Structure 1
Amino acid sequence: MDDFRAEIRGWLAANLAGEFAHVRGLGGPGREHESFPERLAWERHLAAAGWTCVGWPVEHGGRGATVEQQVAFHEEYALAGAPARVGHIGENLLGPTIIAFGTQEQRARFLPPIVAAEELWCQGYSEPGAGSDLAAVRTRAERDGDRWLVTGQKVWTSLAREADWCFALCRTEPGSSRHTGLSYLLVPMRQDGVEVRPIVQPTGTSEFNEVFFDRAETAAANVVGEVGDGWRIALATLGFERGVATLGQQVGFRRELSALIELARRTGAIDDPLLRDRLARSWTGLAVMRLNAERIGTSTGPESSISKLVWATWHRELGELAMDVLGAAGLVADGEPYDLNDWQRLFLFSRADTIYAGSNEIQRDIIAERVLGLPREPRR
């Protein structure tokens, strides 16, 4: 393990230099607009050296890294200050789903471009009337000979403007409802039947987008799993999303907390016993978060909801704590017209943490019903 850590640490130190020196620390939630072309070039540089998809099986282009090695990779990557990944949706969500449920033809077509960072992906789940209630999906796909025609709207679609493909949950059985009659389709984004509209957020940036499909085409073979089995495949993808990559995310959380503690020291806010207690609780919560992520590991079962609930709540509370440490100064923009500092952006964007990728309320329901075995809530 020490040798593996030393290998990735040495490679990062040698390569986050020269033409890539300026991408250190760029990107991430609320900052995906930062130097995207340069970060894509970095992603392809990673790929050329074999550092994408490290946890994938060797036969699918990965390194076959153990869970411990994957943890080491994500931690060393974050500790080096490397930029936020631009291919993470394909690598961490779609790729593992195709490996688990796709056909040999789908694996041969879609996995190599993910490994090489040649094709980027976005996720087409949420809709205006089907966010936390994902089973209420209304986007439909109609079979027309050797193709599907997709019509409907998706919303809160991260990186849709940059993506080449979208994996979309669509209703393929007319008249079906809830979890039945859904299919998991792979849809090309760069066609006349797809329109992407950025959503301007309170941060002033536009990570999220609306996506409109108007008889957008995809091949009949681009269904992962069986037609009508989309609900099961979609839930598996959500489980993959909450894997060991979140341990690298926690390195960033640790940096934010350390910087906030230092800010509290500089401003004297740490002398307030209530703020000092909240900072200590935040430090303890981060330690618990790590232990919990290591315990759950690569599980894609309902227990993976625990990790999402824990980190999302912790990070949102860190943003609130940052505003209280700043005090009245946190209410004033740094400059015209709307120049926010890092703490203000953290506060605003972390409000979304408890909503995207499964809201806190839904995670609690999943944990209660599928992990603890409690009775289901009455459906109204």
Structure 2
Amino acid sequence: MPPCFDNAENVTIRQREKLIVLLGRTDTGKTSTFNLMTGLCQPIGNRISSTTSKCYSSGNYIDTPGFGDTRGGDVSHLSLVDFFISLSSGIDILFYFVRFGTMNTTDLNLFLDIYKRILSIDAYENSCLVITDYSLANLEQVNIDGSEERKSLLKQLHDNDKYSYILDKFQNRVMFLDVSPTDYSRRELSKEIIDRFLHSFQPKSRFNCQNLQDAYRLIRRTQEMEEHCREYRTEIEELKTENEFLRNLYEKQIRHCQQLQISYEESTNQLEQVHQQTLLTIETNHILTIEEMKRQELRIRDEVKQVRQQLEEIEQEMDRSVTFNVVSYIPLIHIITNIMELNTKRKITQRIRKLLHSKKKIM
């Protein structure tokens, strides 16, 4: 696996010299110190985002991306682990950078994240704390072992549990630097301080922790899981959209069924009303017909009565006289005709009654 360098084609690491890696939060002075020790002019970042996006090497110094970059996340972690794994020969010294007077809980948590999740506690033996932006006049004295100024400053730092935790892990290995580009003399003094430390500090062994492999797989796995999560979220959104469509369609069908039910009930009511009205009309017409036939029957009876009377008179007349006029047969013909008509109407009435009776049964 090749090193992840910006200047990958020009990397030449001198194996006989100590390999130094610069680590730390964004804008803690890593790249400024890297430029000071290598004579390069790598662009520096700000307190929000890191300009260094990949590991950059010159000589035996390696600059790394700043942790806590708002644009980075696990990408910078993965890049660093990828690079560390590529250094099969290991690392001699790890410079961990913080700013003087600005150490807080977030910085301490970032330190723990780097050394426990990415590196390992084995890296403590090869690490040194580098405190930048030290602007006090006693810059040289606080970097001399055993000096009163250094003892006093270390005591102040140990009173702060954030600095104290790191110093205890690093066995009080700490440098104070001022790499401000506006003060050339303090920059040169800082360079001398780093050179003296590198000459005096002899790590027991190179750091080459197997846990980096686990960290590499863990971060890769995390990225894969995040990718799966994004895919699942997309599928969930699509299912939500489809479910919303189906829900709207279901509600629409429910409303349609309700409308059909209302329409059916209205049609049934109308049909019932029409049926009742038809029955009422038929019954009324039937009653009227029967009443009319009764009246006609009464009239016919009256006529029959009159005819009988006439017949009786005719018989009486015939008894009195042997001869009679042919005209006398006319009333008789009329009577016979009325009797036949009456019989016919009775038959019709009976048929109508039977018909109405059968219709009532059907209904």
Smaller-chain TM-score range?
under 0.3
**TM-score normalised to the size of structure 2?**
0.25
Higher helix share: 2
**TM-score normalised to the size of structure 1?**
0.24
Larger Rg: 2
